[in-house]
Structure 1
Amino acid sequence: MQDILINWAPQETRVAVVENGAVQELHVERTLERGLVGNIYAGRVARVLPGMQSAFIDIGLERAAFLHVADVHTNGANGRDGTAPPTPIERLVFEGQTLTVQVIKDPIGTKGARLSTQISIAGRLLVFLPQDDHIGISQKIGSPELREQLRARMAVLVGKPEEGGGGGFILRTNAEEASDEELADDIAYLRKTWGAIRERSFKSPAGTLLHQDLSLTERVLRDLAHDDTQAIRIDSKMQYDALKAFGDLFTPTSVSKLEHYKGERPVFDLYNIDEEITRALARRVDLKSGGYLIIDQTEALTTVDVNTGGYVGARNFDDTIFKTNLEAAGAIARQLRLRNLGGIIIVDFIDMSRDDHQNSVLAEFRKQLSRDRTKITVSGFTQLGLVEMTRKRTRESLAHMLCEPCPTCEGKGQVKTPRSVCYDILREILREARQFNPKEFRIIAAPSVVEMLLDEESQHLAGLSDFIGKPISLQAEATGSPEAYDIVLM
C-alpha cells in the first residue's frame, strides 16, 4: 500500500511517496525555481543552426532554449517513417519567426530548456494533442481487446473536425475504467484550455508564458495517486482546501483519500523523511545484508558500484555475491527514483561466474525498474560485466536541486594533503626568491600546514631558508580551504 505525504511551506513544497514504510520517491518544488516542463510559451527564433539541425528560441528565460528538428511539428511525418529524408530545419523555421512552443526538458546544468512545437496538454485521464488527429492508448493498458474498445469509444466522443471535434488524444493508464461521461468531461476541459492558450498566443509578444503546468501538489492528485494509494496527507489547511477544490473538479477518485494532517510533529517525521533525504544525498548506501552501494553522479553519466562489504552470510562465496547482487538490484532501482537520476547509468554488479546467477540478477533488476513511471531502457551484461541503462531525464536530480559544489574542493571531492601544500609553498618561495629581495618571507597558511612545516617538514624549511639566505616565518590562519596559502614579502 502507498501513502503520499505533502509538506507545504510558502517557499517550498516537498512530497514523499511511501510504500510499505519505505520512501520510494521524493519530489521538491521551490516557488522561485519551479520546473518548466509542460509550460507553453510564445517564442521567437533567435538563431537557426543548419549544421546542428536545431534552433535557439527566446522564450524570456535567462538562457535561450533549444529546438531540434525532430521536435518540430509538421503536417507530414518529417521523414520519421524512414520513407523520405527529414525536412531541414532551415526550411521549417526562420530567424525572427514567432512560434508556440512547449518545454519538454528543464534547463539542466549549463544547457537551456529543450522545446517542442508539438503541443500536448495533460488532463486527468487524457493527454490532448491539438495538432494531431490520432488516438493513442497507454502501453500499460495491456489487453488488445480493451485497447480496441477504448479506441472505438474515444472515436465517438472526440467527434469529427467539421462538427467542432477533432484533435488527437492519448488515454492515460488511469482511463482504463473511466466512464464515457468522465472521458467527455476531460475532452471538454482540455479543448477549453487549448482554446484559451491559442487566444493568448495571438495577442502576446514573444517570451510570454501562455500556459503553466500544474503545481506539484496538484500533480500529486493527477499523476501520483492511484488505486493502491491509501492516504494523501497534507500539513497545510489552506493548501488542503485548495487541493480539495481542485480534486473535486478534476480528480474525484483521488480527493476522497486527501487528509489534512493536524499532528504536533511535522508530517515528514512520521516516516523519518528528512533522514531519508540526507541519506539520498550521500555517496554510500548501506544494504541490510552488510553490503553497500557507491553512487557517483557526473556530468556525463552516473555510476553505481556494488560491494559485498561485511556480508558473509551465504554458504559459499558465489552465493554471497549472488545474494548481495539480488538485494542491490532492488536498492538501485529505489535509489534511481529517490534521487531522480537520469541519463546514462552504469551499474557494476559484483562479478558472477555463473550465467544463471547473472540472468536472475538482471531479471530481478528489470522487475524492480518496471515500477518506475519514467521511461527506462536496460541492456544486458557487457563483456566487462557492467549493466548499461538509460533513464529519461526531464528535470534536475535531487542532489543538483538541493546541493552545490563544495567551495573548498570546487566539486573535485578531494583536497590536497597538508604535505602537498607544504611542497607547493616551498616551490613558490624558491620561485619568488629569484625575482624579489625582501628582508623576510612570511607564510600564512592553514593550521595543519603550518604544523607540518614546524614538525615533519622543518628540516626542508630550514634548508630552503639557508639556501635563499632569508628568514622564513610562519603564521597559522583558519582559511576557507586547507589548500589556500599566502606568501607575504616583508
Structure 2
Amino acid sequence: MSERRAYLYKGVGETVGVVTLDGRPERLFVSWPTDDVLDAEGVRGVARVKKIEKAFASAFVALPGGQDLILPLRPDMPALVEGGLVEIEIKTASRRGKSGVARFIAEGQGEPSVLEAAPTIEERLRHHVKAGSPSTGDKALLAVEEAEADILATIFALPGGGDIAVEPTRALTSVDVDLGAREGADSKRAARQANMAALSVAARVLRLKGLGGIIVFDLVGRGHDAPALTTAARNMFSPDNPGVGVGGISKFGTMEMIVPRRAPPILDRLLTETGASNPRYVARRLARALEREGRADPGARLTARCAAAVAESFASELESGVADRLGRRFAVEAQSDWPVDRLEVFAG
C-alpha cells in the first residue's frame, strides 16, 4: 500500500511544502512573499466581465486588483454582458505567456470583491496527507532539496531497470521510455514491465513538476496490450482527476493523455525563460546555506560568495530576514564572473 508523508519548511522568503509517495517526492508547493495572491488556484470572488469573445466561446474577467482571466462559456451558463458581474473560482493560475482560467459559479452580486483566498501551503498538505502533522526543520529542508533536484532532472530510473526522459515543450510533454538493462530473453515481457513502471514513475514526476496538458508516452516494444496499459494509466493518474483523459495506443507505439493544469510548472520558479537558473531561487538557496552554516558554527563570522545577480536578489529580498535569524555576522561577496548557480558559504 502506498504511503504519503508531508513536510513543511518555513525559510527566509519562502514557505515550501512537500508530499512524498513511498519516500519519493510527489508534490511541491511554494509560496514567496512577493507572489500575487490573486493569481492562484482556489481564489474565489465576484469579477467584472471585461470582454466577451464569442468566436472562442470565452470571456475575459478580472477580480479587483487581479489579472485578466479566461472564463470558458458554456451553453448552460446565463448570458453574460460586458461590464456585468460573475462569481468565479480560479481553476488554473497563469503561467508564462498564458492567462489563468476561471470556473463559473454563479451570476455576480454586489460589487467586485475577493470572497475566498487560495488555500495555504499547510492546507494543501492536509488535503493530500490527512494523517498527522507535517515534518518540519532539517527533515523538511532535506525533502525540499530532494524535490527540487528531481524537478530539475530529466532522466528518471525505473524500478527493475530502464528509465524515462520527461521533457516539456510549448505544445506537450513527452515521456520517452527506455528499456535499458531490463531487456532479456523475453523481450516482450520486459517491454511490458518497463511500460507499466514508466506510467507509475511518470505520474509522480509530472505531479511534482506541475506539468499538465497533453502528455505523449513513447512506449518501448511492439504489440502492446492496449487495454492493460490504458487501464494502468487511468489508475496511476487517478489522483489528478477530474479531467484526466487517456487515448489509445497508436500504430507508432505512442500513447496520448490529457492531464489538467492546475498550477504553473515549478520550473517557472527555478529557471528563467531561457532555461538558466533563476537568481531569485538561487538567492533562497544561499539563505538556506547561511542558516545551515550558522547553526553548525554558532557565533562564527560567515562569508558567502555568489554571482552578482544572486547577490542583488538576496540583498533586496532576503538579507534582513537572514540577519533577524543569525544576526549581522555574515557578508555576501558578489563574483562578477560566476555562473548563477554557483554558491560558496564558509565560516571564518
Question: Is residue 259 of structure 2 the alignment partner of residue 388 of structure 1?
Answer: no
CA drift at 1:279: 2.0
Larger RCO (CA within 8 A; separation ≥ 6): 2
Query: How far apart in 2 are the matches of 1:117 and 1:304?
Result: 33
Q: Note the C-alpha offset of 1:294.
A: 1.2
2:234 aligns with 366
Is contact 1:67-1:116 (8 Å) kept? yes
In the other structure, the counterpart of 2:161 is 290
Distance 1:375 1:309 in 2: 33
Deviation, 1:351, is: 2.6
Is contact 1:377–1:390 with CA below 8 Å preserved after alignment? yes
Give 1 or 2: higher helix fraction.
1
Larger gyration radius, structure 1 or structure 2: 1
1:332 and 2:189 are equivalent in the alignment = no
Residue 66, structure 1, aligned to residue 70, structure 2 = yes
SS of residue in 2 equivalent to 1:324: helix
Letter in structure 2 aligned against 1:333: A
Equivalent position amino acid for 1:116 in 2: R
Bigger proportion of residues as strand: 2
Correspondence for 2:295: none
Tell me, in whole angstroms, the C-alpha distance in 1 between the residues paired with 2:165 and 2:156. Answer: 6
User: Deviation at 1:315?
Assistant: 2.5
Quote the RMSD (CA, aligned, Å).
3.0
Indicate how the Cα distance of structure 1 residues 57 and 308 shifts in structure 2: closer, same or farther if over 3 A, else same: same
Q: Residue in 1 aligned with 2:140? A: 267
| Residue 380 of structure 1: how far off its partner (Å) | 2.1
| In structure 1, distance between residues paired with 2:59 and 2:170 | 23
| Residue identity in the other structure for 1:217 | E
Q: 1:110 aligns with which of 89, 93, 97?
A: 97
TM-score scaled by structure 1? Answer: 0.50
Residues 461-476 of structure 1: pairs in structure 2 closer than 5 A: none
Deviation at 1:395, TM superposition (A): 1.3
Q: Report the Cα distance in structure 2 between the residues aligned to 1:332 and 1:52, rounded to whole angstroms.
A: 33
Q: Equivalents in 2 of 1:479, 1:113: separation in Å?
A: 36
| Corresponding residue for residue 282 of structure 2 | none
Equivalent residue pairs, number: 276
TM-score, length-normalised on structure 2? 0.69
Partners of 1:107 and 1:114 within 8 A in 2: yes
Q: Counterpart of 2:97 in 1: which secondary structure?
A: coil
**1:352 aligns to what?**
222
Contact residue 13 and residue 216 of structure 1 kept, 8 A:
yes
Q: Which ranges in structure 1 are unaligned for 5 or more consecutive residues?
A: 75-91, 120-130, 132-197, 236-262, 409-477, 481-490
The letter of the residue matching 1:365 is A
Q: 1:224 aligns with which of 128, 136, 143?
A: 128
Amino acid at match of 2:162: G
CA contact (8 A) 2:230 2:246 kept: no
1:396 aligned counterpart, secondary structure = coil
Letter aligned with residue 141 of structure 2: F
Following TM superposition, by how much is the alpha carbon of 1:396 offset from its aligned partner in structure 2, in angstroms? 0.8
Q: Which of 4, 12, 15 is the matching residue for 2:14?
A: 12
Residue in 2 that maps onto 1:258:
none
The question of 1:276 aligning with 2:263 is answered no
Report if the CA contact (8 A) 1:294-1:306 is conserved. yes
> Percent same amino acid at aligned positions?
21
State the 1:62 CA deviation.
6.3
Instruction: Give 1:316 deviation, angstroms.
Output: 3.1
Cα distance in 2 for residues equivalent to 1:340 and 1:15:
14
Relative distance call for 1:233 and 1:59 in structure 2 (3 A) is closer
Q: Which amino acid aligns with 1:338?
A: L
Distance 1:349 1:341, change over 3 A: same
Q: Which residue number corresponds to residue 191 of structure 1?
A: none
Q: 3-state SS of the aligned residue for 1:310?
A: helix
Could you tell me which runs of 5 or more consecutive residues in structure 2 were left unpaired when the two chains were aligned.
Answer: 277-336, 340-348
Aligned equivalents of 1:289, 1:23: Cα separation in 2: 19
Paired with 2:228 and 2:202, the residues of 1 have a C-alpha distance of 15
